[in-house]
């Protein structure tokens, strides 16, 4: 398949970007979106020649100071692969004119995300605003416009569905670090490996998080847990996380859903703010497990061991156990092991938050 070459520029004036609202063309992949200014290469143009021509044609401005910030590769189903040279500009001459492709408007940088932007554009705008050195970003979209894959400098990024308070997807997708930077509501899965003993006592498998984790390093946590990737279903995500972190290949019917948990917490790790607002589908795995036979994911998990349920709960409440376990969710485990328990309509919360 052939490819196409383009440029895109975000022209700066103080704390504003010049944005183009693409409303004029009927058959336009960017119809009704807000983007920077730019366009396709012509003839034997270099990236800079294309940039200067497109900016002048669309805005009437002549750039006097600009910076080449990165390459963005777009893969959109049904369209040619596009390689976009991304620029910012902080110097220009001339008077702004009307644009045939839409409406031009100076927009405050902190108001940008109120516009109808492509989900992936929010990511590279964040890279620009953080002055990340020259980067290569790959963004992949489906035919319906949903963003499903991203790579930064060849490294796969995790993308999450943003959700409403009932857990249903909003239709928008965001990269993991940005989700936790902003405290956006997203979905996770928590799987508790439990052992109910003959005397009625309960043991729970805890994992000790790797010291290299980006959040809660070295803390005791859920047996296995993780984020749901964009487009993923709850049970599929739970099976994946259980296998990736512990090497347990759960068969159909072996994961028992016991309810949903909503949690919100603000903290800081490695000098960075961390806001975690999540809705978790909580599962029990009740098949016999020997910790010494587990294949743990060393990048995520330092060690695993069975603990007496009551001792763990006391440690959570008293603060004597270094853990990031939510107490209301932990209480749900004991309830789910009682005769006649039904997960229908079960939802518990720790520090719930309301969207603003």
Could you read off the pLDDT tens digit of each residue along the chain, which spans 356 residues? 456 999 999 999 999 999 999 987 777 788 899 999 999 999 999 999 999 999 999 999 999 999 999 999 999 999 999 999 999 999 999 999 999 989 999 999 999 989 999 999 999 999 999 999 999 999 999 999 899 999 999 999 999 999 999 999 999 999 999 999 999 999 999 999 999 998 989 999 999 999 999 999 999 999 999 999 999 999 999 999 999 999 999 999 999 999 999 999 999 999 989 999 999 999 999 999 999 999 999 999 999 999 999 999 999 999 999 999 999 999 999 999 999 999 999 999 998 665 54
Cα 185 off chain centre by: 10
148 & 197 share domain: no
65 & 186 share domain: no
9 & 151 share domain: yes
> Structurally, how many domains does the chain consist of?
2
**For residue 251, is it within any domain?**
yes
**For residue 170, is it within any domain?**
no
Report the C-alpha gap between 129 and 171 in whole angstroms: 25
83 & 138 share domain: yes
Q: How many CA atoms lie within 13 A of 275 on its CB side?
A: 10
Q: Which domain range does residue 115 map to?
A: 3-157
User: Residue 142 is part of a domain; what is its CATH number?
Assistant: 3.90.79.10
60 & 92 share domain: yes
**For residue 162, is it within any domain?**
no
Report the C-alpha gap between 13 and 119 in whole angstroms: 24
145 & 195 share domain: no
152 & 210 share domain: no
pLDDT for 2 equals 53
Of the three residues 113, 141, 157, the one that is the final residue of a domain is 157
38 & 185 share domain: no
134 & 187 share domain: no
pLDDT for 4 equals 93
pTM for the model: 0.88
147 & 247 share domain: no
Q: Residue 234: which H helix or E strand, with range?
A: helix 234-246
Report the C-alpha gap between 260 and 343 in whole angstroms: 9
pLDDT for 115 equals 96
**Residue of 285, 183, 272 whose CA lies nearest to 225:** 285
90 & 185 share domain: no
**For residue 174, is it within any domain?**
no
Bridge partners of 33, per DSSP, are none
Q: Residue 246: which H helix or E strand, with range?
A: helix 234-246
**For residue 165, is it within any domain?**
no
**For residue 119, is it within any domain?**
yes
**For residue 163, is it within any domain?**
no
125 & 78 share domain: yes
**For residue 172, is it within any domain?**
no
pLDDT for 163 equals 98
Of the three residues 157, 191, 225, the one that is the final residue of a domain is 157
Residues 6+ apart with CB under 8 A from 92: 11, 55, 61, 62, 63, 64, 65
pLDDT for 355 equals 52
Q: Where are the beta strands (DSSP E) in the chain?
A: 3-13, 16-21, 34-35, 37-40, 62-76, 81-93, 103-108, 135-141, 147-152, 155-156, 159-163, 169-175, 185-196, 202-209, 220-221, 224-227, 255-269, 272-285, 301-308, 347-350
List Cβ<8 Å contacts ≥24 apart for 152-155. 152/127
């Amino acid at each position: 398949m052939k490819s196409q070459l383009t440029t895109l520029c975000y022209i700066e004036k103080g704390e504003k970007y010049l944005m183009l609202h693409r409303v004029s063309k009927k058959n336009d992949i960017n119809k009704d979106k807000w983007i920077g200014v730019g366009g396709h290469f012509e003839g034997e143009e270099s990236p800079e020649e294309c940039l200067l021509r497109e900016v002048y044609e669309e805005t009437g401005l002549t750039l006097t100071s600009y910076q080449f910030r990165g390459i963005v590769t777009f893969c959109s189903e049904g369209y040619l692969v596009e390689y976009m040279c991304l620029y910012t500009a902080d110097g220009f001459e001339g008077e702004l004119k009307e644009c045939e492709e839409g409406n031009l408007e100076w927009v405050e940088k902190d108001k940008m995300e109120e516009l109808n932007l492509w989900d992936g554009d929010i990511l590279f705008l964040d890279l620009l605003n953080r002055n990340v050195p020259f980067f290569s970003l790959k963004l992949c979209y489906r035919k319906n416009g949903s963003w499903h894959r991203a790579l930064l400098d060849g490294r796969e990024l995790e993308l999450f569905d943003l959700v409403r308070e009932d857990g249903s997807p909003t239709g928008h997708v965001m990269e993991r670090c940005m989700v936790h930077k902003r405290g956006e509501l997203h979905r996770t899965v928590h799987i508790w490996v439990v052992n109910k003993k003959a005397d009625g006592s309960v043991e729970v498998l805890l994992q000790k998080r790797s010291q290299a984790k980006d959040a809660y390093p070295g803390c005791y946590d859920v047996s296995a847990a993780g984020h749901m990737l964009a487009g993923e279903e709850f049970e599929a995500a739970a099976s994946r996380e259980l296998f990736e972190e512990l090497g347990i290949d759960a068969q159909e019917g072996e994961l028992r859903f016991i309810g949903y948990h909503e949690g919100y917490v603000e903290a800081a790790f490695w000098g960075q703010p961390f806001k975690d607002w999540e809705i978790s589908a909580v599962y029990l795995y009740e098949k016999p497990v020997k910790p010494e036979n587990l294949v743990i994911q060393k990048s995520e998990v330092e060690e695993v061991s069975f603990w007496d349920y009551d001792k763990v709960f006391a440690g959570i409440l008293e603060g004597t156990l270094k853990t990031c376990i939510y107490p209301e969710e932990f209480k749900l485990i004991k309830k789910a092991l009682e005769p006649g328990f039904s997960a229908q309509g079960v939802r518990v919360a720790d520090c719930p938050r309301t969207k603003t």
